[in-house]
Structure 1
Amino acid sequence: MLGKRKRFDTFENLDEYMQPHHLPLQSSLANIWPRVMQSRDIKFIVGPEKKEYTVHEAPFANLSPPLSALLTGGFQESREGKVIWDDTDPITFVLLTQYAYQGDYSLPESKAAPTFSEENEAPEEGDAPKNLPRSMQGYFWATEHRGSQHHFVNDKFFHGKGRDEKPSPMDQTQSILRKFTGIEAFEKACRDVEHLRPMYMHHVQLYFLADKYTIEDLKEICLARIRNFLSECPGTFQLKTILFESVPIIYAWTVHGDSLRRLISQYFLANMTWIDTGTRFKALRRSTPEFGLDLLDEIPHSYWRELSEGPNELVAEGWED
Structure 2
Amino acid sequence: MASRTVAETDWIYSSRTIRLFVGPDKRVFAVHENLIVRHSSVFAAMLDTANGMSEAIKAEATLGDTQPSTFASFIDWATYGDYKFHAIIQKTVAAKPQPPKDAAAAKGEDQHESFQQLLQQYPPDLIAKKLYLLYMQWFVYSGLPDGLYRHPRPELTGTAPADDDFDADLDLAMENREFGERCYHHVQVFVFADCYNIPELRQFCLHKLHRCLQRAKLSDEGYQLLFELIAIAYDNTGEGDPLRKLFVQACVADLCLIRRAPGFSSVLDGVPEVAADIFREQPKYWDCRLVALCDVEAKFKRPESDSTPCERGSRKERSDL
- The structure-2 alpha-carbon separation of the partners of 1:224 and 1:94, relative to structure 1 and needing over 3 Å to count, comes to same
What is the match of residue 169 of structure 2?
185
Contact 1:148 1:306 in 2 (8 A): no
Structure 2 runs not aligned, ≥5 long: 95-103, 145-159, 290-321
| Aligned pairs for 1:1-321 within 5 A | 24-27=1-4, 30-72=6-48, 73-110=51-88, 112-114=90-92, 132-143=111-122, 144-145=126-127, 146-159=129-142, 185-186=169-170, 188=171, 191-278=174-261, 280-301=263-284, 303-305=285-287
Contact 2:176 2:219 in 1 (8 A): no
Shift of 1:183: 5.7
Contact 2:164 2:212 in 1 (8 A): no
Q: What TM-score results when the alignment is normalised by the length of structure 2? A: 0.72
Q: How many Å separate the matches in 1 of 2:214 and 2:63?
A: 32
Q: What TM-score results when the alignment is normalised by the length of structure 1? A: 0.72
Amino acid at match of 1:154: Q
**Aligned residue-pair number:** 258
SS at match of 2:71: helix
Contact 1:207 1:219 in 2 (8 A): yes
- The structure-2 alpha-carbon separation of the partners of 1:111 and 1:285, relative to structure 1 and needing over 3 Å to count, comes to closer
Contact 1:177 1:233 in 2 (8 A): no
Contact 1:46 1:84 in 2 (8 A): yes
1:237-294 alpha-carbon deviations (Å, 9 max, x no partner): 2320110111111011101110010010000011011111156212211210111111
Q: How many Å separate the matches in 2 of 1:109 and 1:191?
A: 11
What is the match of residue 18 of structure 1?
none
SS at match of 2:30: strand
Q: How many Å separate the matches in 2 of 1:207 and 1:246?
A: 13
Contact 1:156 1:266 in 2 (8 A): yes
Shift of 1:179: 5.3
SS at match of 1:214: coil
What is the match of residue 313 of structure 2?
none
- The structure-2 alpha-carbon separation of the partners of 1:103 and 1:201, relative to structure 1 and needing over 3 Å to count, comes to same
Q: RMSD of aligned C-alpha atoms?
A: 3.0
- The structure-2 alpha-carbon separation of the partners of 1:250 and 1:30, relative to structure 1 and needing over 3 Å to count, comes to farther
What is the match of residue 309 of structure 2?
none
Greater relative contact order, per chain length (Cα 8 Å cut-off, separation 6+): 1
Q: How many Å separate the matches in 2 of 1:250 and 1:26?
A: 32
1:130-154 alpha-carbon deviations (Å, 9 max, x no partner): x743111110221344322122122
Q: How many Å separate the matches in 2 of 1:178 and 1:238?
A: 24
SS at match of 1:142: coil
What is the match of residue 311 of structure 1?
none
- The structure-2 alpha-carbon separation of the partners of 1:281 and 1:177, relative to structure 1 and needing over 3 Å to count, comes to farther
Percent of paired sites with the same residue: 24
Contact 2:220 2:261 in 1 (8 A): no
Amino acid at match of 2:115: M
1:179-198 alpha-carbon deviations (Å, 9 max, x no partner): 55786633x15644542222
1:89-111 alpha-carbon deviations (Å, 9 max, x no partner): 11111000011112221222456
